[in-house]
Each structure stands twice: as structure tokens, then as C-alpha cells.
Amino acid sequence: MPRARQLSDKEQHARSLVDAPLWLPTVAGPEAGYRNKAKMAVGGTVDAPTLGILDRDLTGVDLRDCGLHSPGLTAALDRIADWSSDAGLVPYDVAARTGELKHVLLTESPDGELLLRLVMRSTALEARVRSRLPALLAAVPGLRVVTINVQPEHKAVLEGEREIVLTEHSTLPMRLATGVTLRLGPRSFFQTNTLVAEALYDQGRAWVDALPDVRTVWDLYCGVGGFALHLAAPGREVLGVEVSADATEAATVTAAALGVAARFVAADATAYALAAPDAPDLVVVNPPRRGIGADLAGWLEASGVRHVVYSSCNAESLARDLALVPSLRPVEARVLDMFPHTTHYEVMVLLER
């Protein structure tokens, strides 16, 4: 489908669900080479591994040449596949339930640095990986962080609970054009399209800076602090709430490095809001696809919060949530094509009481 048609379909879909008086021009971004993250299932054999997906027969299909990945990811995946073969990392055979290497998860920063996670069935080959680590770092010069993630269960789960960091560094700096450098740990969430993510944070900052008397801001579902750190400004107190302690620790370090007044709490966003004695002037929500849900929406409706910035990757759950906050009306909205060549997109809405 031509890109122009993709964009118009997404705009039409968003507009049919969200009744905003002003729609800003859609942020398109590049149509190829835009993904900063590769999530590759490992198949094939130790001598000829595949990195990509498994077909219906559980046979590996190699997708190292996927046109969505950045050139840096494509080049690195070839070298990682060769290295895993040389290191004797046997691909996990789902049908036979044998082998060790399940997934290769690779993230690239704007500076070309890389974070690699090797998802293994066990730690049986940890010593071998450690001994071959110098060869891997030599083959892939941009590698900053390498970990083993242990996922022992035989089920379609991407990663396990245990993470073993093998390198000196444990975080990947994401130096954004917005002037903020975020720090990604192995489990940290970051938008897969860096250029569109920068536009997302820029839009949030522009909306909030244009509002009068925004002195207190909460960023719920803050991750590593994307919105919170972009909204921090003199005379403004910013609080980020995120269930992942690793993410809030990374965000705290970033805030200190930037010298901004932003603090972060590891907690469930809904539980934190419901327990808080006071409400801020403005709330940012960037929830998972399911949306914020009835409890948090009910709190927002009753809270007296004057403005909300809602960033959503699912316009349908956004529409359901907006129906639960009738006192907060859309003022402006914008579609951001975070995921070209799919039906998915990001949509941002500025709400005013």
C-alpha cells in the first residue's frame, strides 16, 4: 500500500475515534530503516543459524535483511549470527525442546551504540559466552552492553526474569535531538522509531510550555523518563511514576546528569494516583495498548487536574478512556506514524477541563 494511503487511513481512523477541534499535521518520519530495535527468534542449526521468525512448522525464517531495521542493526545482526555459530551457541529447537539460544534482542542508539541481549534457555553456556565475549566486541565495534537473559520455560515468552550483564556498562545512552539523553537498561522500554519519538516528546513539551501556570506535572507510565525529562523546567516540579524500578533508577540518574527538578517513583500508576492526597496541574499518560482503564480514568475525572497529555499507541482504547473523562475535552490532537507499513500508529491528545 502506498505510504500516502497508509497515512491517510491512519488519520481517518484516529479522527473517527477522537473528536478534537484541531488536528496538527501528521508526523510521518522515514518509511524504511526506521526501527532501532530488532527482536529476532533464533532457528536453524549451530552452523547455519537463522535470526528472524519461526514459521508454522517451527522452522527458522531468516529476516536479517528486514527493510524496517536501521542499517546499523542489519550489519550487526550478520556479525552476531556468525559469532554465535563460531561460539557453538546451539539454537533452541522448539519442536524438540533442545538447544540453548532462543532470541537475539538488539537495540541501537542514535550514536550507533548497541545493546545486545542473548535470550538463553539456561546458564549452561554462560562460561562459553564470557570466553568468546572479546571476539564479539571486536566483531561488532558499537556494542556497549551485552547481557544473557535466562528464559527456561517452554512457551512463547520473549524473555525471562533473570538478566546477567557481561559488559562494563549496563545502560545504553539514547542521545536525542531534543537535547535529552535517556538511559536504557536491558529491560527498559523505548519507542522503536527514534525520529518519531523525538517528535512525540517535542510535541508534549510544546503543548505544556504554551499553557499558563503549569507548576506541577505527573508523568504516569513514565518508563525511563521520556516525557518527564522533556517537561522539566525552572519553576516546574515533575514526578514520574513507573512500575519498573530499573527504569526509575535510570531516569533518576538522567535527571541528575541534566540538573533538572524531576524525581521518579517505582509504583503502579493507578495505585499511586488513587493514594495521593493532592493532584498536580497536569498529568501525562502514556499507557500500554490496553489504555489507562476505568480506575485511573475515574480518578482523572474527579481529580480537578486542569490538563492531560494522553499519548496512545491504540486509538480504540484511547477513545474508551476519553468517554470516561467527559469533563476533560480534546483541544488538539496529532497522529505520529511510529510504525510504517503496519496498521499501528501513535496518537497524542491534549485535554483541557
Active site residues: 313
Contacts of 287 (CB under 8 A, 6+ apart): 220, 221, 269, 312, 317
Contacts of 101 (CB under 8 A, 6+ apart): 42, 49, 84, 89, 90, 91, 92, 118, 119, 120, 125
Q: What is the DSSP string of 282-299?
A: EEEE---TT-SHHHHHHH
Q: Kind of pairing, strands 60-62 and 49-54?
A: antiparallel
Residue 101: its H or E element: strand 101-108
Angle between helices 315-323 and 3-17 (to 10 degrees): 20
Contact call for residues 171 and 145 (beta carbons, < 8 A): yes
Query: Does residue 319 sit in helix, strand or coil?
Result: helix
How many C-beta neighbours within 10 Å does residue 288 have? 12
Can you read off the three cell numbers belonging to residue 149? 537473559
Q: What is the DSSP string of 112-168?
A: S-EEEEEEESSSTTHHHHHHHHHHHHHHSTTEEEEEEEE--SSSS-S--SEEEE-SS
Torsion of the alpha carbons at 237, 195, 169 and 126, rounded to the nearest 10: 130
Phi-psi region of 339 (alpha: psi -120 to 50; beta: other; left: phi over 0): beta
